[in-house]
Structure 1
Amino acid sequence: MTSASTPQGLARFNVLEEHAALAALHEVCASTAWARRLLAGRPYTTAGDLYAAADAATSVLTAADLDEAMAGHPPIGGPRPGDPASAREQSGMASASDRLKAEMLELNLAYQEKFGHVFLVCATGRTGEQMRDAARERIGNTPERERETVRTELGRINRIRLARLVEADRRPRPL
């Protein structure tokens, strides 16, 4: 049940038709299992309730669910055309030198060869150098440790994207 204190964007999300809510959640995270868990928890009274549900859903994703979620993310330094969320999140690579971009491409390829999936990092607020350093460090992880690191990074990305979803209606609407 929503209340007068429920943020407007969250209240709007709570009453979306199921297919529209599912589509909005898929823009946050490509895992169908994750989206369905959040959908089943509606209505949310506070953004904190939604974030807690998102964290809980992320914590129980299977290996296949994580693979599905990661498949929705482009490599660092290569946001998909028409994907403003990834472009915004990876903006730290936009001003990177050609040398740094080439190094990140090599690291992405080496990482994908070792782990079998895209290098996933919460890139929001990170510089190109910080993303490169994270890739360098994590490429030494065991597959098991990296899987848990990916789960943590996915949770961070999901929270940032959910915040945008919840706060989307705080802007004044044109008349």
Structure 2
Amino acid sequence: MPIDRFNSLSTSRASAVLREVCASRSWGAALLAGRPYRNAGELFAAGDTATSVLDGADLDEALAGHPPIGRPTPGDPASAREQRGMAGAPERLRERMLTLNLAYQEKFGHVFLICATGASAEDMLAALERRLGNAPGREREIARAELTKIHRIRLDRLLTELEREPAPEPGPAPEPGPGPAPEPGASTERQPGTGAVAGPSGPARRPIRPHEGTPS
């Protein structure tokens, strides 16, 4: 199951993939602390809870991980995929979006954030125009709600990608342990040229060969 793959990730790798979902370190730490999860629903619920308490510097850190709408991060397939609705937008609309993005950042101190998956360029522009009139406190509440939607989509995609990865190679077989310890005082040293084994005390005894009889 994909959730089992996530649960078995090393701490360092799990932390890295969670940073791709949300840039807030406290958010990632909260999800790491909740492992193991029984199913995807538990992971999504933990993500919702961690997002709902983001505030202050933690919320700023989460928002800073998102590029402005209309300017996806170069080389980042996630932001390009999520902002696909802007790809074919008319130049005039794109210029309007850029102008209002700058005005939004000037007023609120962070990027305009919207869950852009499935939204058209016109939808995003209308939301930006509408939200510019909000008070700062109200706008942070809306941004947090948009983060919740984005995190759910990204967590679901993360589990899908983990499921597609090849199963991890089994570890090497354990090396055989040492044989049983000799009895106290016993020696396993062979006597030179005889093939005899020394006993716990006394001279070495030569082993009886199959063709030799037992001495009378």
Give the TM interval when normalised to the shorter protein. Answer: over 0.9
Q: Which runs of 5+ in 2 are unaligned?
A: 168-216
- Deviating above 6 A after TM superposition, structure 1's stretches of 4 or more consecutive aligned residues are none
SS at match of 2:71: coil
TM-score (norm 1): 0.92
**CA 1:15–1:172 in structure 2 vs 1: closer, same or farther (change >3 Å)?**
closer
SS at match of 1:144: helix
Name the counterpart of 2:45.
52
Number of paired residues?
A: 167
Q: Which runs of 5+ in 1 are unaligned?
A: 1-7
Counterpart residue type for residue 80 of structure 2: A
TM-score (norm 2): 0.75
Q: Is the contact made by 1:79 and 1:87 (CA closer than 8 Å) also made in structure 2?
A: yes
Q: Is the counterpart of residue 148 in structure 1 residue 141 in structure 2?
A: yes
**Larger CA Rg, structure 1 vs 2:** 2
Percent identity over paired residues: 62
Q: Is the counterpart of residue 94 in structure 1 residue 92 in structure 2?
A: no
CA RMSD of aligned residues (A): 1.3
**Structure 1, 163-172 or 77-86: larger mean CA deviation:** 163-172
Describe the superposition over 1:60-98 as per-residue Cα deviations: whole angstroms up to 9, x where unpaired.
112110100011000000001111000000000001000
The alpha-carbon deviation at position 169 of structure 1 amounts to 3.6
Q: Is the contact made by 1:92 and 1:123 (CA closer than 8 Å) also made in structure 2?
A: yes
The alpha-carbon deviation at position 132 of structure 1 amounts to 0.4
Name the counterpart of 1:74.
67
Counterpart pick for 2:20 among 23, 27, 30 = 27
Name the counterpart of 1:5.
none
Higher helix proportion, which one? 1
Name the counterpart of 1:128.
121
**CA 1:12–1:172 in structure 2 vs 1: closer, same or farther (change >3 Å)?**
closer
- Matches of 1:22 and 1:126, distance apart in 2: 29
